Amino acid sequence: MKSFDVYSVFDIEIVKASGSYLWDIQGKKYLDLYGGHAVISVGHSHPAYVKAITEQLNTIAFYSNSVKINLQNELAEKLGRLSGYEDYQLFLCNSGAEANENAFKLASFYNARKKIISFNSAFHGRTSLAVAATNNSNLIAPVNETSNILFLPFNDIAALEKELDESVCAVIVEGIQGVGGINIPSVNFLKRLRELCNEKGAILILDEVQSGYGRTGKFFAHQYSGIKPDIITIAKGMGNGFPIAGVIISPLIKSKKELLGTTFGGNYLACAAGISVLQIIEEENLIENSLLQGNYLKLKLKTIPNIKEIRGEGLMTGIELFEPCSRIRNELLFTHSIFTGSSSNKNTLRILPSLAITQSEIDVFINALRLSLTQAN
Q: Is the pLDDT of residue 376 over 80?
A: no
Beta bridge partners of 349: 319
Kindly report, residue by residue over 196-219, the tens digit of the pLDDT: 999 999 999 999 999 999 999 999
Instruction: Please tell me the class of the 14-46+285-376 domain.
Output: alpha beta
Confidence at 374, pLDDT banded by 50, 70, 90 = confident
Q: Where in the chain is the domain with CATH 3.40.640.10?
A: 48-283
* Cα 209 to Cα 222: distance, rounded to the nearest angstrom: 12
- Non-local (6+) Cβ contacts of 289 within 8 A are 355, 356, 357
Confidence of residue 377 (pLDDT cuts 50, 70, 90): low
Is 286 within 8 Å of 299 (Cβ atoms)? no
- How far, in Å, CA of 121 to CA of 181, rounded? 8
Closest CA to 93 of 112, 106, 111: 106
The pLDDT confidence band at residue 375, using thresholds 50, 70 and 90, is confident
pLDDT at 361: 98
Report the alpha-carbon distance of residue 22 to residue 249 in Å, rounded. 36
Provide mean pLDDT across the span 82-88.
98
Q: Average pLDDT, stretch 51-64?
A: 98
Catalogue the E-assigned strands of the chain: 14-18, 21-24, 29-32, 89-93, 115-119, 149-152, 168-174, 203-207, 231-234, 245-249, 307-313, 316-321, 338-339, 348-351
Distance (Å) of CA 324 to CA 184, 229, 329, 330: 21, 35, 9, 11
The rounded mean pLDDT for the chain is 97
User: Position 247: which residue type?
Assistant: V
Give the whole-angstrom CA distance, residue 274 versus residue 268: 10
CATH topology assigned to domain 48-283: Aspartate Aminotransferase; domain 2 (3.40.640)
Q: Report whether pLDDT(188) > 70.
A: yes
**Mean pLDDT, range 292-311, rounded to an integer:** 97
pLDDT, tens digit (0-9, with 9 covering 90-100), for 221-245: 999 999 999 999 999 999 999 999 9
Whether the model clears a pTM of 0.85, i.e. scores above it, the answer is yes
Burial of 322 (0-12, 13-18, 19+ CB in 10 A): exposed
Predicted confidence (pLDDT) per residue in 133-170, tens digit = 999 999 999 999 999 999 999 999 999 999 999 999 99
Distance, CA of 33 to CA of 316 (rounded, Å): 10
Could you read off the pLDDT of 244-260 as tens digits, one per residue? 999 999 999 999 999 99
Indicate where the chain has its CATH 3.90.1150.10 domain(s): 14-46+285-376
SS3 state at 89: strand
Residue 326, SS3 per DSSP: helix
Give the integer Cα–Cα distance in Å for 94 and 186. Answer: 30
Give the mean model confidence (pLDDT) for residues 341-360: 97
Residues 6+ apart with CB under 8 A from 145: 132
Give 7-55 pLDDT, tens digit per residue.
999 999 999 999 999 999 999 999 999 999 999 999 999 999 999 999 9
Calpha distance 282→234 (Å, rounded): 18
Specify which residues 252 forms β-bridges with.
none
pLDDT at position 27: 98
288 three-class SS: helix
Q: What was the pLDDT predicted at 267? A: 98
Percentage with pLDDT > 70 across the chain: 99
Mean pLDDT of 291-308: 97
Q: List Cβ neighbours of 194 (8 Å cut-off, separation of 6 or more).
A: 204, 227, 228, 229
Rounded Cα distance between 59 and 66, Å, is 18
